[in-house]
Amino acid sequence: MTKPFQYLFGVLLILAGLFAVLAFEHLQEQPKDNQPAIKSTISTEPTKETQTFDFAQLQEKEGDDLKDLGIWQIETIIFKGKTKAILTTANGKEVSFPIEITNQDKNEITLPTVNYAPKNLVIAQQVGLAQKDNQYFMYQID
């Protein structure tokens, strides 16, 4: 092989390598058009879930067998796949609930399986949780 062919072969090899790296990076990126859409659900009808109470008011409304679970913080919100919110206590207890997104721009959610859950919950927010039988209830903390 002559020297000009060696240089040409080297340059072509380098270009092929660069092209392969760029193609690999491009394949790893998902265009925003192909990402799953997040649906927002907004309810304008006043329901029992939109009302907020402190624990004493909630206990008066739901009965004395309502158990106060204390203060919980919305630690994690998973918006893709199986959407859920993970709530934790200061001593490390953890519970998760399915979510509905109520305001996508502000990342606000509600917990449809929790009675009296506000429609504008956000990450790091602290809430009170109570339980009666197998149902959870949310209340305001001071």
Write the pLDDT tens digit of every residue in 104-124.
Answer: 889 899 999 999 999 999 999
Distance, in Å, from the CA atom of 6 to the CA atom of 11, rounded to the nearest integer, reads 9
CB 138 within 8 A of CB 118: yes
Lowest mean pLDDT among 45-49, 87-91, 113-117, 138-142: 45-49
- Would 104 be classed as within a structural domain? yes
In which domain, by residue range, is 78 found? 70-139
- Would 101 be classed as within a structural domain? yes
Question: Residues 16-35: pLDDT tens digits?
Answer: 888 877 777 766 665 555 55
> Structure pTM?
0.62
Distance, in Å, from the CA atom of 13 to the CA atom of 119, rounded to the nearest integer, reads 58
- Would 46 be classed as within a structural domain? no
How confident is the model over 40-60, as a mean pLDDT? Answer: 66
How confident is the model over 26-48, as a mean pLDDT? Answer: 51
| Domain count along the chain | 1
Q: Which has the higher per-residue pLDDT, 100 or 22?
A: 100
SS3 of residue 75 by DSSP: strand
- Would 2 be classed as within a structural domain? no
